[in-house]
Amino acid sequence: MHQVLDLIGIFVFALSGALVAVRKRLDVVGMTVLAEMTALGGGILRDLILNIRPAAFSSVGYVLVPIAATVIVFFWHPHVQRVMPAVNVLDAAGLGLFCAVGTEKAMNYGLSPLHGALLGVTTAVGGGILRDVLAGQIPNLLYDRQLYAVPATLGSVVMAVLYTLDLHGWPATLAAAVLAFGLRIAAMRLRLRAPLARGLTPE
């Protein structure tokens, strides 16, 4: 079940990467690279920091799923754009799952709660950062006006606290993931925004 949920999150993140490539008018190679980096980048960064073999290289599914997403976007990107509200909901679910799983895995390898939470956030948003850098744009993380990193951070912190309280396994992971998911959905529905520095007004 864990791997199935993982692959669903990877698929949705890959869709977003491929769509960015389309907007940047990149060819199919660029689409594939952005899809793979968006989907797998966060987990790869996490595992390299933990000094272990990245999970992305443990199964061909982790590589093939982003390719499948690229094919879908390549042929049917106008249709994918039209169902973006549904894709955004799945993206929020992937965000919640990845931040919780990333934090738990980091703490399983002996990291402190603080470092575990930081690595959980890295798992959730690292692929998006790589996508934006490769696409030649400022990473969304640096101007989190749509509250993307904030839900991931809160979900990671909750997971770290639960782990510290010796609450492991799926119940704890699900609780942290649902929290991050709910906050992300609320941010989208209510159009919540992170505050700007004092005196600045939105453009």
Q: Say if CB 160 and CB 117 are below 8 A apart.
A: yes
Sole residue written with tokens 């989907």: 39
Verdict on whether the full-model pTM lies above 0.85: yes
Task: Report pLDDT digits (tens) over 75-112.
Answer: 998 888 787 787 788 788 889 989 999 999 999 999 99
What pLDDT sits at residue 144?
61
| Confidence bin at 1 (pLDDT 50/70/90) | low
In terms of C-beta density within 10 A (0-12 exposed, 13-18 middle, 19 or more buried), how is residue 180 classed? Answer: buried
What pLDDT sits at residue 2?
62
Q: How many CB atoms lie within 10 A of CB 150?
A: 17
Residue 122, pLDDT > 80, answer yes
In the chain, what percentage of residues exceed pLDDT 70? 97
What pLDDT sits at residue 156?
97
CA 1 to chain centre: 19
Residue 4, pLDDT > 80, answer no
Residue 123, pLDDT > 80, answer yes
What pLDDT sits at residue 85?
82
| Confidence bin at 12 (pLDDT 50/70/90) | confident
| Residue, of 12 and 165, whose pLDDT is higher | 165
Taking residues 156-166, what's their average pLDDT?
96
What pLDDT sits at residue 142?
75
**Torsional class of 143: left (φ above 0), alpha (ψ -120 to 50), beta (otherwise):** beta
| Confidence bin at 145 (pLDDT 50/70/90) | low
Q: Say if CB 91 and CB 185 are below 8 A apart.
A: no
Per-chain mean pLDDT for the chain:
88
What pLDDT sits at residue 139?
83
Taking residues 69-77, what's their average pLDDT?
93
In the chain, what percentage of residues exceed pLDDT 90? 54
Q: How many whole angstroms separate alpha carbon 151 and alpha carbon 149?
A: 6
Taking residues 158-187, what's their average pLDDT?
92
